[in-house]
Amino acid sequence: MSMKKTLAALTVTLCVPISALASDGADRLAAILEPLETYAADFEQQILDGSGQRLQEARGRMWLSRPGKFRWEVEAPYEQLVVSGGEEVILYDPDLEQATVQPLDQRVTHTPALLLSGSADELTDSYEVTRQQQGASETFILAPKDPDTLFEELKMTFRGEALDMLQMTDSTGQRTAIGFDNVRMNEGVDESRFAFDIPAGTDVIRSTQ
């Protein structure tokens, strides 16, 4: 999976046993996500092949305001921007001078970049959820019920109530790992974060699906 698909669309082993708790996974994940209104963080992203070799890495910042509003900025080494104001999603690539615009529909919300901005009920309805606990960390393993997704498995790791790591695996075994830092939850986010004026001269591709 390429960095662009990941944007359009998303270890330290402790000496304690890990228990998989499938029965309460969805309920526990919903309980963590339901109070979440806004979320902001810095991130570091790595794309690894099936053997664990690093293919790409990037860093940036993200903001979300539920429901449906999201901003994902990649600052280095290749600038890219994903913005959702709640009705459509814009993927802007300044190097290519290209913007892709598509509705914020069910298929688009299956991408990790917008996953957290949806409702907790929709999330747990769309995925089979298994919970693992390891010390102070909780990991939720999400397997999509709909095959029309960009990944086969998504892992969300929380420390306390804060999202610490997203790990996404596609059908080829390629894995995207996104670690979050400087997390701010339920603090005010300027609504202008979720708006973007496409620069003049940009090649705009609009999709209705």
The CA–CA distances, whole Å, from 85 to 23, 69, 162 equal: 34, 5, 23
pTM of the model: 0.76
**Average of pLDDT values for 179-208?**
92
Examine residue 40 and state whether it is found in any structural domain, yes or no: yes
What does the mean pLDDT of the chain come to? 80
Q: Is residue 203 part of a domain?
A: no
Position with higher pLDDT, 150 vs 88: 88
Pairing relationship of beta strands 98-103 and 203-206 according to DSSP bridges: parallel
Does 8 map to a domain?
Answer: no
Comparing 123 with 5, the larger pLDDT belongs to 123
Count of domains for the chain: 1
pLDDT band at 41 (very low <50, low <70, confident <90, very high): very high
Residue 113 lies in a domain: yes
Q: Is residue 5 part of a domain?
A: no
In a domain, 142, yes or no: yes
3-class state of residue 104 by DSSP: coil
* pLDDT of amino acid 81: 93
The answer to the question of residue 69 being in a domain is yes
Is 50 exceeded by the pLDDT of residue 179?
A: yes
Q: In angstroms, rounded to a whole number, what is the distance separating the alpha carbons of residues 93 and 84?
A: 15
| Number of residues in the chain | 209
Tens of pLDDT, residues 90-117: 999 999 999 999 887 655 545 555 566 6
Domain that holds residue 35: 22-193
CATH number of the domain encompassing residue 115: 2.50.20.10
Place of tokens 């890219």: 80
Residue 16: the pLDDT is: 29
The answer to whether residue 10 is domain-embedded is: no
